[in-house]
């Protein structure tokens, strides 16, 4: 685990673990590697290796658009659960949530914009979780 700011690692670890848990629970497969970063009012979780067998088959058959459509629908349905993980871990309100996948390499990004904290200070942090944890 790498933390570039003391004290933020625990919160970012909770975000990382929460994202992995949601993916495992609702996709039936979680990512093999995940990293969560925080910069100012933005939280980014990068997930690697999380496509299901069905999604990988569609991608291999050059139907990435089908996977994108299903993932977009899923993200809309799950927005409150995803934002709740971040809000609970960081104690701040999420005002925007975006999600995107990339087929090759197999990656997903969950992006959260937080309500401005008002302190004006730059906050930078990172949490990395691999299968070993």
pTM of the full predicted structure? 0.82
Confidence (pLDDT) at 23: 92
Distance CA 68, CA 80 (A): 20
d(CA 92, CA 83): 10
The answer to whether the beta carbons of residues 89 and 20 sit under 8 Å apart is: no
Place of tokens 């299968």: 131
β-strands 33-39, 124-130: how paired? antiparallel
- Phi and psi angles of residue 105, each rounded to the nearest 5 degrees, phi first: -80, 160
For the stretch 59-115, pLDDT in tens is: 999 999 999 999 999 989 999 999 999 999 999 999 999 999 999 899 999 999 999
């Amino acid at each position: 685990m790498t933390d570039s700011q003391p004290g933020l690692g625990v919160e970012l670890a909770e975000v990382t673990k929460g994202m992995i848990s949601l993916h495992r629970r609702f996709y039936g497969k979680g990512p093999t590697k995940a990293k969560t970063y925080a910069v100012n009012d933005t939280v980014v979780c990068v997930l690697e290796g999380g496509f299901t067998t069905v999604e990988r088959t569609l991608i291999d058959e050059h139907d990435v658009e089908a996977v994108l459509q299903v993932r977009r629908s899923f993200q809309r349905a799950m927005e409150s659960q995803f934002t709740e993980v971040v809000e609970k871990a960081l104690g701040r309100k999420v005002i925007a949530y975006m999600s995107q996948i990339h087929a090759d390499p197999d990656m997903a990004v969950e992006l959260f914009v937080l309500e401005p904290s008002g302190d004006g200070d730059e906050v930078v942090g990172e949490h990395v979780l691999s299968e070993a944890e």
